[in-house]
Amino acid sequence: MTRFFARVAAALAVLAAFPAMAQPVDTGHLVAELVARDATVTPGATTYVAVRQKIDKGWHTYWRNSGDSGEATKVVWTLPAGWTAGDIVWPTPQRQPTGPLMNYGYHDEVLLPVPITVPASARPGETVTLKAAAAFLVCEEICVPEDAVLTLTLPVADGLAQPDAKWGAAIAKTLAEAPAPAGLDAAFAKQGGNVALAITGAALKDVDLAQAYFFPFDSTVIDHAKPQAIERGPDGLTLTLTLTPGYAFQEGAGPKAMTGVLSLGGKAYEISAQAGALPAGASGLGAPAKASGGGVALGLPLAAAFAFLGGLILNLMPCVFPILAMKATSLAGHAHDRRAAQSQGLAFLAGVLATFLALAGVLIALRAGGEAVGWGFQLQSPPVVAGLALLMLAVALNLSGVFEVGTSLQGAGSSLAGRGGLAGAFFTGALAVVVAAPCTAPFMAPALGWALTQSAPAALTVFLALGLGFAAPFALAAFLPGLLTRLPKPGPWMDGFKKLMAFPMYGTAAWLAWVLAVQAGDMALAGVLAGAVLLALAAWLAGAAQRRLAAGGRPIGLVGASAALGLAAVCAALWQNGVSEEMTKAAPDAPAQASVPYETYSPEKLAAARAAGKPVFVNFTAAWCVTCQVNEKVALTSQGVADAFKATGAIYLKADWTRKDAEIAAELAKHGRAGVPLYLVYGAKGGDGVILPQILTEGLVVRALKDAQNR
């Protein structure tokens, strides 16, 4: 009987204290409170109490690893004697891109459960007060540190704990969905500037891995803002993670383990990967998944196939026409000498492949060193642009007959034109690649974006496939007798055709001079024009000397030609020394020529434009990108597009990558791109940006803007 009355008294105490009392606190940009999973607690048991955050719209708080910036929520407990609190059980975070940064955290509402152990000495019938001092960093466009002291009273009772009527189910659901170990095998290994993280296990079989993403516990090892390329294997997947620039990962250094959360969209697992051999079955087979964070995860076979197709299409891009005109002239000259034509085709192929691989090697090395560069990076350097402009002028003057280099057109620009002109064919292939770099053909963008997140061997394989596709048409044409026999036999017509082909080269030189003016200003343009005049004089004097020598006279003009060439070299050297990096950065932006008003892109302007609730069109372009300039004239400056911008209220941002810009490079990488053009359209109601095709039409842009108005 005595025990019965004790139980009744305890039950009455529970009813008197029910429900558990919490005091919400409004910290300014969120409301915080302590909420309990159980309505009562039992002596000797463990319960869960959660720090609930109701966050203002547009604001967010942070996960245990906040990413590139921010700070995790911290909780310090004050508990009765004998009571203990464990670590926060962190729910899977959301990615929070902020300009070039990537952060991890929560918005709207989040519960952070904490295990509370009740001592066996707790007495049924009593109520206890739990106190927690919580510190939050709450961010929108600005960040505000806020804190609160939270309290919760809980009754102690015998028997099984009963779930709290209001918060019990929500906390139980949070605990059930929280990342936990699932027997997954994981290992990682350094590959160039990346880390390959391979994960296998039964939990990953027959699961959609398209949304896979690794949230590391350590904030210092990987570059959070870079896309995580995914390769699906029969037993799991391999994620390619970019190392933080400058991270020490030499032999014997670096982490022995990488721990974190593998999120698959609906499910998440804790993993602990050890440094060492990657588990079999994590890559190489199965369909490739889509990359997380806007990246591209094609897998090596598909990326190489895309690169080959992109290389084929690159031959149709306007920036390559002048060089291919040279090659066509040479092919016509050897059309009826099968062996010579085939040798020329193979030499051209070798020049293309060697130059593609050389550019790729430099690009990979620069990116591994932390440089924000992408495809076409060499044309972001004013000295390189100036040198190419003078080289194109020299080639054009040679084609015009002002002077001769050897007996073969393919010797243009090279004194190595002997040995049947093979060195000249090699040089033409190299020159074609350098000039083709500003162009990004369809299929190239995802392939190169994937390649630049992979190991060096994989990246070089993709660039090799790109070179094979680019060189294939002319290399194969040299081995097709049926095609060659259709070409007219060499004759006087070839001299006229050769001189006609000089004009595309003059056009290329003029275009490069314009690019230089955009990059480095009027003084740089004046310098290269002075060099061009001296180079033309040198070419004319050299030609005069050659003609005099052919007529049996003394080539006295060679002395003047050498002097003029020396002056041109001095002029180029003075110009290069005069244009410092600071002048390049300070060069004024080119005036707007489009009929649609635009603002210069920045991550802050993009965030503000999206917050305004209007469609946003972002144009990633460069003066040296011929495809970009064609799209500008054909689609982006038409009256129909201007009317669509006005009707939809869309905001136009232009990201000009003519000069190096780390923020633009980071945004391109975030969308799996290594170069321009890139066109993004953001809807008025938020969400991810839609990537438009690289070749624009007026109708395509108008439809995209109208769709964004309702999206």
Q: How confident is the model at residue 444 (pLDDT cuts 50, 70, 90)?
A: low
Q: Which residues of 680-699 are buried (b: 16+ CB within 10 A; e: fewer)?
A: bbbbbeeeebebbebbbebe
360 lies in a domain? yes
Mean pLDDT of 276-297: 53
- Whether residues 154 and 269 share a domain: the answer is no
Task: Name which of 14-28, 56-70, 197-211, 352-366 the model is least confident about.
Answer: 14-28
- Whether residues 66 and 205 share a domain: the answer is no
pLDDT at 395 (0 to 100): 72
Of 629, 528, 638, whose CA–CA distance to 319 is shortest? 629
Please give the full DSSP string across 469-536, using - where no structure is assigned: HHHHHHHHHTT-HHHHHHSPPSSTHHHHHHHHTHHHHHHHHHHHHHHHHHHH-HHHHHHHHHHHHHHH
More confident residue, 28 or 696: 28
Of 452, 235, 261, 227, whose CA–CA distance to 362 is shortest? 452
pLDDT at 553 (0 to 100): 61
Mean pLDDT of 572-582: 46
Q: Which residues of 151-189 are buried (b: 16+ CB within 10 A; e: fewer)?
A: ebbbbbbeeebeebeebbebbbebbeebbeeeebbbbbe
Q: How confident is the model at residue 368 (pLDDT cuts 50, 70, 90)?
A: low
Residues 553, 565: Cα–Cα separation, whole Å: 22
- Whether residues 228 and 269 share a domain: the answer is yes
Residues 85, 78: Cα–Cα separation, whole Å: 9
589 lies in a domain? no
Range of the domain at 692: 599-709
Instruction: Give the containing element (helix H, strand E) for 199.
Output: strand 194-200
- Using one digit for the tens of pLDDT, what is the confidence trace for 463-511? 888 888 888 877 777 776 655 555 555 556 556 766 776 787 787 778 7
381 lies in a domain? yes
Mean pLDDT of 561-565: 59
Interhelix angle 382-399/502-520, rounded to 10 degrees, is: 160
342 lies in a domain? yes
pLDDT surpassing 80 at residue 4: no
Share of the chain above pLDDT 90, in %: 23
* Last-in-domain residue among 131, 146, 178: 178
pLDDT at 91 (0 to 100): 96
Beta bridge partners of 180: 269
pLDDT surpassing 80 at residue 41: yes
The residue to which tokens 């991550």 are assigned:
603
Residues 95, 81: Cα–Cα separation, whole Å: 39
Structure tokens at 621: 């372009």
Residues 671, 679: Cα–Cα separation, whole Å: 11
Q: Is the pTM of this model over 0.95?
A: no
Mean pLDDT of 198-216: 85
- Whether residues 47 and 166 share a domain: the answer is yes
3-state SS class at 658: coil
- Whether residues 514 and 530 share a domain: the answer is yes
CATH number of the domain to which 655 belongs? 3.40.30.10
Per the structure, the count of domains in the chain is 4
- Whether residues 291 and 391 share a domain: the answer is no
592 lies in a domain? no
- Whether residues 343 and 450 share a domain: the answer is yes
- Using one digit for the tens of pLDDT, what is the confidence trace for 374-392? 555 555 667 767 777 777 7
More confident residue, 164 or 545: 164
Mean pLDDT of 340-357: 80
- Whether residues 10 and 125 share a domain: the answer is yes
Instruction: Give the containing element (helix H, strand E) for 104.
Output: strand 101-107
39 lies in a domain? yes
- Whether residues 368 and 429 share a domain: the answer is yes
- Whether residues 650 and 668 share a domain: the answer is yes
More confident residue, 190 or 109: 109
594 lies in a domain? no
Q: How confident is the model at residue 84 (pLDDT cuts 50, 70, 90)?
A: very high
* Last-in-domain residue among 554, 584, 614: 584
- Whether residues 314 and 418 share a domain: the answer is yes
* Last-in-domain residue among 253, 274, 297: 297
- Whether residues 162 and 274 share a domain: the answer is no
CA dihedral 36, 42, 45, 50 (to 10 degrees): 10
Per 3-state DSSP, what percentage of the chain is helix, strand, and coil (rounded to 5)?
45, 20, 35
Instruction: Give the containing element (helix H, strand E) for 620.
Output: strand 616-621
250 lies in a domain? yes
Length of the chain: 711
Task: Name which of 2-6, 92-96, 335-339, 646-650 the model is least confident about.
Answer: 2-6
